[in-house]
Copies of this chain bind each other. A is one copy, B any other.
Amino acid sequence: MPRTKEQYEQMRNATKEKIQTAAMQLFVQKGFGSTNVQDIADAAEISIGLLYRHYKSKEKLFNELVDFALAGMIQQKEYFESNEVSPKQALDQFVHEIYNDMMTGEQFANLLILMQQSFLTGGGATVNYVEVTRVSEQLFRATARLITKGQEQGQFRSGNPHEMVVLFYSTIHGLAAMKMMLQHNFQMPSPAALTSFLYKEGE
């Protein structure tokens, strides 16, 4: 008799992970259109045939990676809505996580760049554009509510919450892009600098 179900499953999971890691790297680095499946297979150290056993098409692979990013956004949104901590604490912790991630690795930055690519209408991959938009809007709305609450509690500066949200995520996204571009010349700003425009003096 051959290997057990579990053994086979572990093998499949291992190769799938190799594919995902390689694809993420390349899609972010070169864009969907400029990445070819041969490169992905080479980077994952597998054959093209095996790649196609796991993903019906290059686009399906891309979509799955975008889904990971979406899942992260939904999780974040739910945390923001859980009211476990104060608005400031919630945002500070979020920024702190981003800071750590950006200082040590690039997982977070990669997911953000991937989101940007998926957003570009017909950016090669006809991802579920509607879904991406919906989730983004949800996260934006949840963050805006957090800001509104912070303003009511007097800890946050006044200002249009939606405008502040746009600036907040623009800054984070811009840092991810800049990290990719500058490579070792990139110097991550302190977490406090990223939120200073949100809080009142001395808070």
Contacts and interface: CB of A to CB of B under 8 A. Distances in A.
Interface of A: 29-35, 115-117, 119-124, 136-137, 159-160, 162-164, 166-167, 169-175, 177-178, 180-182, 185-190, 193-194, 196-197, 201
Nearest to A195: B197
User: How many copies of the shown chain assemble into the complex?
Assistant: 2
A167 B180 contact: no
A116 B177 contact: yes
Contact of A193 (B169, B172, B197): B197
A160 to B, nearest CB: 7
A1 to B, nearest CB: 47
A26 to B, nearest CB: 10
A104 to B, nearest CB: 17
B163 A187 contact: yes
